[in-house]
Structure 1
Amino acid sequence: MQTMTAVQKQSSIGSIQFLPVNLFASVMGISGLSLAWREASKLFGTSTVITDISGIVAVVIFIALSIGYISKWVLYPQKVKAEFTHPITGNFFGTITIAILLLSSLIGNYSQISGQVIWIIGTVATLALSFVFVSRLLNGNHEPANAVPASLVPVVGTIDIAVAGGTMPFPWAHEINLLSLAIGGIVALVFFTLILSRLIHHAPMPAGLTPSMIIMIAPFEVGFLGYTNFEQRIDPFASILFYFGLFLFIVLFFKVFKKSIPFGASWWGVSFPMAALSNAALKYAMFVDSWLLIAISAIVLALLSIVVAVLFIRTMNILFNGNLLKG
């Protein structure tokens, strides 16, 4: 009994049993920021210092969160099981596999072989997770109110396979990327329709889930990146994906960024869709070479940088004052 009490005793900053899985979205957001600044160096000629620093931060945070969540799994397996089977929270397990895919792109810039190995691991994990979640949904008896933007995370994750591995040299990579685009594109379209129906016909999103509404732009901006990386060109279909995602972001921006919405780990849900938008905007601006699109890409990049910095500082604040890891 004394041993159990010692294990369950909370430290001054809280207990590992309350570590939320959606914090892995921070790795996605910071990785996306690093990749965006790398694109910015091509368009604006900026230094790669921010790219390198944010990339290192993303890797360190992923390692720390992985150690923390594995510890939670070992010490409190029932907590992890409850989180995984939850109809809403469970979707954020997709942030782990997507983070691995994005890290493969970051690390691949410094070590091609390491990036390829990490991409393979992320690809297998992402496809397996998407299979589990789609299978679970087809069991039936799901509440319409649970069709929230976070439902897109495990599915959109498959598109990130092509985002990170569009130019992988393996002879089988072409078909795997095509498979990932097929799964992510079609299922995301179905889910997007269900989510729109829920937002239109049911009660507004709870305050804690409101920031996750920005995730709705992910299928379009991640789709743009995955499709163009796979095709190695930008065509009118890609342009349509980019522009609709941009339009949707402007609509959702004024619904999400409000002082009335309390801060929590769920706010990291805005970072990775914005990072996808920033990367897409920079890539599209280089293709079109229009001063307006260049200006838009600069504004989105600046906004992303500010949002990630604020989220990081506020997360550190609630971590050390004990509010992040408390029950």
Structure 2
Amino acid sequence: MRTFAAEIKSSSIGSIQFLPVSLFASVMGFSGLSLAWREAGELFGTSHVFADISGILAIVLFLAMAVGYLSKWSIYPQKVKDEFAHPVSGNFFGTITIAVLLLSSVVGAYERIAGQVIWIIGAATTLALSYVFVARLLKGNRDPGHVVPAMLIPVVGTLDIAVAGGTMSFNWAHEVNLLSLAIGGIVALVFFTLILSRLIHYAPLPAGITPSLMILIAPFEVGFLGYTNFKQRIDSFASVLFYFGLFLFVVVFFKVFNRSVPFSASWWGVSFPMAALALAAIKYALYLRTWPLITIAAVVLALLSFVLIVLLLRTLKNLFTGRLLEGKS
């Protein structure tokens, strides 16, 4: 084990101490892509092979990131503590628990019991993490510059409990899903208002975290998915959530996908919000079966697939050229 740790510590591609927790968002993205392609099979008649490949890739990425980040924790525990305590990057610890929740749906498509066990673990850790972050904020003295879209991640994560477990058969799951929707829905809207105020009244976000603007659509599209999974129907309230999230996507798209924004690990923050939009669009199109919605679903799914492939290739390039783990990304 010591030899393995030493090899990681002195790797030629960089130091494990600079492995960013935000890379767990890649697991969220590919899990969401897998779920979207599985639903797309019903809408477009496509093969499940795309869902299978994306799901396997999500599992592989999670295992790789888990080994890497546990190694970082073992060798550089203070680095992990500092990252967790950071007012901005600390929010990305929510990507770990959300990744577990989404993987429960990916795995559950093949093995129901395993999916349920993973969901229970994900739900418990997500609720615990949301408590920690909300309690931390209530200590006060928050710098307005630290009010960023990433704040939504640990809280929106509770909405994913209902996304992944809306149809769980446990007699207690109904109340857990309701609890998650209550926490995620109310707190996310409060945070959204704070973030919008910061974006309007203060300086623009630094270029390095500009991609996180895409997270603004998450409360609405993830809320749509969680609410419709819980209620097992699409109603006017669900439609409002979907359409406002779609509107926000169009607004932030050209701000995020801009040549002036440098590539870094933070770009993975766009992955799951877009995946949630794609999955929501497909579900809504399946419900109404109108050509505009079917077209929107197809365009967003194609765009999501393209973006994730590009992000993966660029991240691997940065990894093997030493840029990812050099402490500057």
**TM norm structure 1:** 0.98
Q: Which residue of 2 aligns with 1:277?
A: 277
Q: Which residue of 2 aligns with 1:46?
A: 46
Contact kept in structure 1, 2:31 and 2:54, CA below 8 Å: yes
- In the TM superposition, what is the alpha-carbon distance from 1:27 to its structure 2 partner? 0.2
Structure 1: stretches of 5+ with no match in the other structure: none
What amino acid maps onto 2:298 in structure 1?
Answer: A
CA distance in 1, matches of 2:174, 2:68: 35
For residues 305 and 7 of structure 1, do their structure 2 counterparts lie closer, same or farther at Cα, with a shift above 3 Å needed?
Answer: closer
CA distance in 1, matches of 2:88, 2:9: 28
- In the TM superposition, what is the alpha-carbon distance from 1:323 to its structure 2 partner? 0.3
- In the TM superposition, what is the alpha-carbon distance from 1:70 to its structure 2 partner? 0.6
CA offsets per residue over residues 94-118 of structure 1, 9 Å max, x none? 0000000000000000000000000
Q: How does 1:235-274 map to 2 (within 5 A)?
A: 235-274=235-274
Q: Which residue of 1 aligns with 2:213?
A: 213
- In the TM superposition, what is the alpha-carbon distance from 1:8 to its structure 2 partner? 8.7
Q: How does 1:88-107 map to 2 (within 5 A)?
A: 88-107=88-107
CA distance in 2, matches of 1:196, 1:96: 25
Q: Which residue of 2 aligns with 1:144?
A: 144
CA offsets per residue over residues 124-159 of structure 1, 9 Å max, x none? 000000000000000011111111000000000000
- In the TM superposition, what is the alpha-carbon distance from 1:11 to its structure 2 partner? 1.7
Q: Aligned Cα RMSD in Å?
A: 1.2
**TM norm structure 2:** 0.97
Q: Which residue of 2 aligns with 1:170?
A: 170
3-state secondary structure, aligned to 1:118: helix
CA distance in 2, matches of 1:9, 1:121: 30
CA distance in 1, matches of 2:217, 2:7: 42
CA offsets per residue over residues 26-75 of structure 1, 9 Å max, x none? 00001100110001001000001110011001001100100110111111
- In the TM superposition, what is the alpha-carbon distance from 1:7 to its structure 2 partner? 7.5
Q: How does 1:20-169 map to 2 (within 5 A)?
A: 20-169=20-169
For residues 7 and 297 of structure 1, do their structure 2 counterparts lie closer, same or farther at Cα, with a shift above 3 Å needed?
Answer: closer
How many residues were matched structurally? 324
- In the TM superposition, what is the alpha-carbon distance from 1:10 to its structure 2 partner? 3.1
Structure 2: stretches of 5+ with no match in the other structure: none
For residues 163 and 206 of structure 1, do their structure 2 counterparts lie closer, same or farther at Cα, with a shift above 3 Å needed?
Answer: same
For residues 188 and 9 of structure 1, do their structure 2 counterparts lie closer, same or farther at Cα, with a shift above 3 Å needed?
Answer: closer
CA distance in 1, matches of 2:155, 2:83: 18
- In the TM superposition, what is the alpha-carbon distance from 1:9 to its structure 2 partner? 5.3
Percent of residue pairs bearing the same amino acid type: 73
For residues 11 and 243 of structure 1, do their structure 2 counterparts lie closer, same or farther at Cα, with a shift above 3 Å needed?
Answer: same
